Chains A and B, each alone.
Chain A
Amino acid sequence: MSGFFKTSIGRKYAMALSAFFLIIFLIIHLSVNLTSLFSKEVFNEFSHFMGTNPLVQFAMQPVLVFGVVFHFIMGFVLEMKNRSARNVKYVKNTGSANSSWMSRNMLLSGAVVLAFLVLHFIDFWIPEMNVKYIQGDMSGLLSDGDGYRYYEELVHKFENPLRVGAYVLAFVLLALHLLHGFTSAFQSIGATMGRKKTMQNIGKAYSILIPLGFIVIALFHHFNH
């Protein structure tokens, strides 16, 4: 199969497989975050488990980072290669007549999501790494030792309206990215054959509900505390 991944179609497959991985990751991430709407304790328990479980930290986390980096680099490389396949541009081109804005701007929506990821890493991931692995505090407790710190940190982050605005914007762009990307990934692996309409409907539902969930969480904590 090594020759397969060198073909144009093989690269589409690789892109689609990394997309499926990220699609599943988003469901898991949202499921954990949604608990913060209902119960501080459940959210803290989940966060502590995810943050300290060796399987999650040392097996799943590196795979996730690899998945994100691979998806971005592969997407960027393919986009550049695709652009070079048309060396002279059209003087007049009406792309909107035959394709959606989302499908023509995956690099743009992807880049915004990537920029958001950098912000997200600075907000949550880097401080986590610092507390756990540099300061060596694996307890997950608040500085006064009165319960877990995760929920308090989440609430604190969403106090700033600029950050909430950035999150909302990024998730709108993620929705646009998914509105094309979800069905596109299934088309790439040939799974839409005979069930295109169904896949498109599932894709629409996923692409709207998942980002909407994250937006609701950000707004809920901003306005409720």
Chain B
Amino acid sequence: MKLTLKIWRQNDAKAKGKMMEYQLNDVSPDMSFLEMLDVLNQDLIDKDEEPIAFDHDCREGICGMCSMYINGRAHGPDREITVCQLHMRSFKDGDTISIEPWRAKAFPVIKDLIVDRSAFDRIQQAGGFISVNTSGNTQDANNILIAKDAADTAMDAATCIGCGACVASCKNSSAMLFVGAKVSQYALLPQGQVEAVDRVKNMVAQMDLEGFGNCTNTGACEVECPKGISLENIARMNRELVKANMIKF
């Protein structure tokens, strides 16, 4: 396959970036998108040019590092995948592909296609945990009974990998699908109840502080989420916040 790539190049956080054009003449349809970028980078290195900086770790769809907006969509054209799971057979010979980093004030660009998603870490640190004694007194897991549907729904929420595709796809750069999933995975389980009030209040406060936009329920996040996290998690978070404010205000 012959491809024209238009890729965002930006030296550092402060530099003004721009789209640069590259040609690739021998792309196999069986390559993953990241492998295609590896080939391009090798070409650039061979020509003594600066390779394109992009984030990747596991290359099996669970690390959520590949913050790329491909042809106007988070992680490219297919559903419920990350960029390493996107293959070049999804494109046609002669295609022009545009590749940009996530765009959000809360996710500043570090270099080229790499963004700083540590805002998500700070939200998680604000309440996305349960405080348990891990010093050798762990009780049997089955001591606390949990309904099957609650366990399943909590697990669905917990599959969020924090990749930021929700923020990237949202016209408001809202992080509510991520925060909704993190709040929900504990709100549905008995272990999460003890700190439920502070958790939702603190996580939402941190989310607002980071400068993410507000959700207008367009549903773009749900469509583009590689793990299929449902909008119901946002509804649940909204309920949890009202409940928390009624209990403790």
Most chain B beta carbons < 10 A, residue from A88, A89, A189, A192: A88
The one of B73, B204, B205, B242 in contact with A94, judged by C-beta atoms closer than 8 angstroms, is B73
A190 vs B6: C-alpha distance when bound (angstroms):
41
Q: Is the CB of B224 within 8 A of A92?
A: no
Q: Is the interface of B mostly helix, strand, loop or mixed?
A: mixed
- CB of A87 within 8 A of CB of B105, answer yes
Chain A nearest CB: distance from B238 CB in Å?
A: 4
B98, B104, B106, B241 pick with most chain A CB within 10 angstroms: B241
Q: Is B28 an interface residue (CB 8 A)?
A: no
* From A11, A81, A91, A104, residue with most partner B Cβ within 10 Å: A91
Q: Are B238 and A196 in contact (CB under 8 A)?
A: no
* Interface check A132, CB cutoff 8 A: no
**CB proximity of B223 to chain A, nearest CB, Å:** 4
- Name which residue of chain B comes closest to A185, CB basis: B217
A161 to B59, CA, bound (A): 63
Q: How many residues of B contact A (CB 8 A)?
A: 50
A187 within 8 A of B: yes
Assess whether B220 is interfacial by the CB under 8 Å rule.
yes
B212 and A98 contact, CB distance less than 8 A = no
Q: Could you tell me the distance between the alpha carbons of A189 and B212 in the complex, rounded to whole angstroms?
A: 20
Pick 28 A–B contacts, CB within 8 A, sort by A.
A4-B245, A7-B205, A8-B176, A8-B214, A9-B204, A78-B214, A78-B216, A81-B213, A82-B172, A82-B174, A85-B174, A85-B213, A86-B172, A89-B103, A92-B98, A95-B171, A95-B220, A97-B72, A98-B169, A99-B171, A100-B218, A104-B171, A106-B216, A187-B217, A187-B235, A188-B215, A190-B235, A194-B232
